[in-house]
Amino acid sequence: MPFRNVPVFTHLAVALLLSGCANPQVAVAPAAPFDLEPLGQPMAQTSVRTALIDQIIVKDPVVISAQKPVLAPSDNDARIAKLRKADGGALPDGYWALYKQNLEAMQYDLNHQHDAARVQYEQTYRDELGRVDDSTLQVMATAPTTLDEQTRRQWNARMADRLSQYIKTSEQSLRAAADTHINRMALMDRQYNVCARNPECWDAPVKK
């Protein structure tokens, strides 16, 4: 019975990225090339400006998507029961308790893989909005579809830049989660000497 599922985990990670679960489900239409106008200096912040900026950010599609769980709820007990049955009782209860703990840790890491990217995205967006004049900020918060074409194109381009960085950071978090999970599982199998009886254990060298 194979315990080592590195290819399966890798395929899961790729599927998450390609399906849009690991990336925000936001489509940004490519704009025709044009010069991105620099924003001005940061403006003095007031409670009104802060409220408008918060209103804009909370409705941003990337921010909304980033707050959704990546994984659907999973029945870890049923999964482990199936593995235990295939194992035939050779491994002790402690092994399977640790197996479940590692699964839950992996699921937590995957469901929070966007956290760093979202914080970075929001900080960049907040800095940009902090340089916008009051009237434009008001329109962006309350009636964004009424922005003039040039202004809308400028903000679409900035969103594309923020989204590109968001995806890069999320992918880094996903790779880190995958590496951490594989290392946890390898240490678990090493602790219980699984590789001595099963060459497909998590601690086995990855086949080239």
**Which tokens sit at 196?**
């001595």
In this prediction the pTM is 0.77
Distances from the Cα of 82 to the Cα of 75, 79, 138, 190, angstroms: 11, 5, 57, 22
The answer to whether position 92 is within a domain reads: yes
The answer to whether position 206 is within a domain reads: no
> What is the rounded CA–CA span in Å between residue 77 and residue 136?
53
Does residue 13 contact residue 174 with C-beta atoms inside 8 Å?
A: yes
Residue 81's domain spans which residues?
43-196
Backbone angles phi, psi at 199, to 5 degrees: -65, -15
pLDDT tens, per residue, the chain with 208 residues: 334 444 344 444 444 433 333 344 444 444 456 678 889 899 999 999 999 999 999 999 999 999 888 888 788 999 999 999 999 989 999 999 999 999 999 999 999 999 999 999 999 999 999 999 999 999 999 999 999 999 999 999 999 999 999 999 999 999 999 999 999 999 999 999 999 988 889 987 765 4
The answer to whether position 132 is within a domain reads: yes
The answer to whether position 179 is within a domain reads: yes
The answer to whether position 131 is within a domain reads: yes
The answer to whether position 12 is within a domain reads: no
Nearest to 5 by CA among 169, 190, 203: 203
Domain count, the chain: 1
The answer to whether position 160 is within a domain reads: yes
